[in-house]
Amino acid sequence: MALLSFAVLWTAACSAPADGAPEGDPTAAPPLPGPEDSNGENDDGGADDGQEGPANGDGPLGDRVVVIDPGHNGGNAEAASEINSLVEVGNGEKACDTVGSETVDGHSEHEFNWDLSLLVKERLEADGVKVVLTREDNESVGPCIDERAEIGNTEEADAALSIHADGGPESGRGFHVITPGEVPGLTEDIVEPSALLAEDIRREYLEGGDIPYADYLADEGLDERTDLGGLNLSTVPKVFLEAGNMRNPEDAELLTDPDWQADAADAIARGLASYLMRD
Ligand SMILES: [Zn+2]
């Protein structure tokens, strides 16, 4: 807690008068907020409708905005024509959205994404961050990927994170973080900060998520792509977390375990907080 307060004072000094708070060394590695910094309100499995919470509240990160994008949506499977309609993604066209993956036992990715997103939201809000979700529930359709990106842009988010879980080969396990590659005229400004965001999330998630780097794609848990509308159309630093492989039995056991989800959310929130404290 003492370390966090130190970082807080320094962060505040950069953005607002801080009552003569001492300035820290800006080159020092940012201390990481731990689960104990979330006021003990974070252990109920995320029974939250996703819509409340303080706007830029009190707390160490009170002047920051994060957009969390829970991938897919529960109504997508019933809305094929809407979901399959094409949207412009800057260098081509893609489907508005997709249905997502599921475990062999039928636990859907959209539900996993939603649950984990709420847990991360809760943790960030405990530190005062304004968190905006790209969808309101887990029963609706969409929104389309271009709208998901637009929400981060409109909010002028300091960071945006899309939460997904992969539908990879059954034998492959692990997580990866997808970063925007350079798309001329679109992503030049976000490539570098997004890579830093990916680094922070990857480090914390590897340590706290108890799940290895993906062994069936990506490179040490990182994959740069230029074909994702959610990244191409973002004007704010943004990455996708593919939190694990739903089709792999070992990963699926973790991904669907509420205790694991709580730990994973702690790790993701620490990664985001670490990124927010970089400047
Ligand atoms: Zn997905």
> pLDDT tens digits, residue range 33-52?
444 444 444 444 444 444 44
Query: Averaged over 25-30, what is the pLDDT?
Result: 42
Query: Averaged over 192-214, what is the pLDDT?
Result: 97
Distance, CA 30 to ligand 1 centroid (Å)? 31
Query: Averaged over 144-164, what is the pLDDT?
Result: 98
**SS3 per residue for the chain:** CHHHHHHHHHHHHHHCCCCCCCCCCCCCCCCCCCHHHHCCCCCCCCCCCCCCCCCCCCCCCCCCEEEEEECCCCCHHHCHHHHHCEEECCCCEEECCCCCCECCCCCEHHHHHHHHHHHHHHHHHHCCCEEEECCCCCCCCCCCHHHHHHHHHHCCCCEEEEEEEECCCCCCCCEEEEEECCCCCCCHHHHHHHHHHHHHHHHHHHHHHCCCECCCCCECCEEEECCCHHHHCCCCCEEEEEEEECCCHHHHHHHCCHHHHHHHHHHHHHHHHHHHCCC
Residue ranges matching CATH 3.40.630.40 in the chain:
41-276
Query: Averaged over 237-263, what is the pLDDT?
Result: 98
| pLDDT tops 50 at residue 197 | yes
Distance, CA 92 to ligand 1 centroid (Å)? 20
Query: Averaged over 255-271, what is the pLDDT?
Result: 98
Distance, CA 135 to ligand 1 centroid (Å)? 14
Query: Averaged over 112-139, what is the pLDDT?
Result: 98
Q: Is-contact 14 276, C-beta < 8 A?
A: no
Distance, CA 99 to ligand 1 centroid (Å)? 8
Question: What local confidence, expressed as pLDDT, does residue 57 receive?
Answer: 76
Question: What local confidence, expressed as pLDDT, does residue 55 receive?
Answer: 54
Distance, CA 153 to ligand 1 centroid (Å)? 21
User: What type of residue sits at position 64?
Assistant: R
State yes or no: is 242 an active-site residue. yes
> pLDDT tens digits, residue range 159-171?
999 999 999 999 9
- Average pLDDT over the chain reads 86
Question: What local confidence, expressed as pLDDT, does residue 23 receive?
Answer: 40
Distance, CA 142 to ligand 1 centroid (Å)? 12
Structure-token pair, residue 3: 């370390």
Catalytic residue chosen out of the listed positions 188, 242, 250, 253: 242
Q: Is-contact 66 129, C-beta < 8 A?
A: yes
Select the more confidently predicted residue: 8 or 122: 122
Report residue 60's pLDDT band, with 50, 70 and 90 as the boundaries.
confident
Least confident of 7-11, 109-113, 187-191: 7-11
Q: Domain 41-276's class? A: alpha beta
**Longest Cα–Cα distance in the chain:** 58
Distance, CA 16 to ligand 1 centroid (Å)? 38
Question: What local confidence, expressed as pLDDT, does residue 13 receive?
Answer: 33
